[in-house]
Structure 1
């Protein structure tokens, strides 16, 4: 009887395949780790662009909800980047571009009408977001100078939904948000998903409200959540772990 045994070449080839497969899996995992937060920022930008298209096509409610979804994504991307130790200059730039798209251009279009003054107000809002994104640093760790545009956008979108797009209400709120964003007041940089448990519950409630809640409670929830950052910045949203 003749015994057939694999050659050493076969073992070497199989070993190389296993090593190559293992290296490929490691590369994929590393790529996913480095880009998970960037994917969230890109998703935020997509929400902004979809909101812009919705506004231009007259789908006002959809435009507002897409801004609120971008709000949730923006709160998550920084936490994911820090959790995975994947912070980068590229990620910071991508986050700024996404914020400008969703919380600048898309939010301003919620106010768009054929009236000249409304268009001027839209431009002023976009410029305020641009200034806020360029000069947000206060020089003090964990503190912003001027209201973060994410909260002003959530307030505008929520108020727009609750008021049925009432232009008088939106004009007043928009002017107030512009003043808050360009002010020199200090606001805490709170890492909601890396902070107290109740803040994580608030975030989870926001996710549930978008996808599972009736219209009115969800709008009120987001309006109260974003307004509380202005009304009680230190007592509620200071960076306490």
Structure 2
């Protein structure tokens, strides 16, 4: 893929929109909790937005070109769907595996860092599918789940959005998404 082509620029913008979607997802949940504006309908709409942004939109980063890519995209979307169903079911033992918003962020970050290399994206997408549906992969850490840590990392993420043309911003996001569960 050539750097100067329109497709590359659109793919680059799509990756950054997924990363910005992650920041907005964290922000809307925090604002709703702070204002006491949580409702059953809001939770369902949030799940729908998560599925759209972190499932469908992220799977399109794989740029389907042939049958195997299409199958990979469908598997990715289905794994996000399964992960969201387990998370919202309220069954404590089901909240395991990599959160779909993290897998989406990892895929978008790797896409930006690799210049959209399809081979790398396919391998990462396959790994993210496994990690999302795995019931034992994703450990929880008390430091990484602390509110202070989440605020520091969120502030860093917002700063990195303004530095989006700076390649280390992608490295920051990649480290962020592998550091711990979302707020």
2:13 aligns to what SS in structure 1?
Answer: helix
What residue is the counterpart of 2:152 in the other structure?
Answer: 201
Query: Are 1:102 and 2:62 an aligned pair?
Result: no
> How much has 1:115 moved relative to structure 2?
1.4
> How much has 1:214 moved relative to structure 2?
3.8
Alpha carbons of structure 1 residues 228 and 174: separation in structure 2 relative to 1, 3 Å: same
Unpaired stretches in structure 1, ≥5 consecutive residues: 1-54
What RMSD, in angstroms, separates the aligned Cα atoms of the two structures? 2.7
How high is the TM-score relative to the length of structure 1? Answer: 0.66
Out of 6, 9, 15, which is 1:64 matched to? 15
Unpaired stretches in structure 2, ≥5 consecutive residues: 1-5
What residue is the counterpart of 2:92 in the other structure?
Answer: 140
What does 1:40-51 align with in structure 2 at a 5 Å threshold?
none
What does 1:48-127 align with in structure 2 at a 5 Å threshold?
59-127=10-78
Alpha carbons of structure 1 residues 94 and 158: separation in structure 2 relative to 1, 3 Å: same
> How much has 1:139 moved relative to structure 2?
2.7
**In structure 2, how many angstroms separate the alpha carbons of the residues matched to 1:189 and 1:103?**
23
> How much has 1:228 moved relative to structure 2?
1.9
- Are 2:64 and 2:73, in contact at CA under 8 Å, matched by a contact in 1? no
The answer to which structure, 1 or 2, has the higher relative contact order (CA under 8 A, 6+ apart) is 2
- 1:67-116: CA deviations, max 9, x gaps? 00000011122211111111101110110110011000000000023211
- Are 1:138 and 1:145, in contact at CA under 8 Å, matched by a contact in 2? no
- Are 1:144 and 1:189, in contact at CA under 8 Å, matched by a contact in 2? no
Alpha carbons of structure 1 residues 128 and 213: separation in structure 2 relative to 1, 3 Å: closer
Alpha carbons of structure 1 residues 85 and 56: separation in structure 2 relative to 1, 3 Å: farther
**In structure 1, how many angstroms separate the alpha carbons of the residues matched to 2:141 and 2:84?**
14
- Are 1:144 and 1:188, in contact at CA under 8 Å, matched by a contact in 2? no
How high is the TM-score relative to the length of structure 2? Answer: 0.85
1:86 aligns to what SS in structure 2?
Answer: coil
**In structure 2, how many angstroms separate the alpha carbons of the residues matched to 1:133 and 1:125?**
12
What residue is the counterpart of 2:127 in the other structure?
Answer: 176
Alpha carbons of structure 1 residues 92 and 59: separation in structure 2 relative to 1, 3 Å: same
Alpha carbons of structure 1 residues 175 and 226: separation in structure 2 relative to 1, 3 Å: same
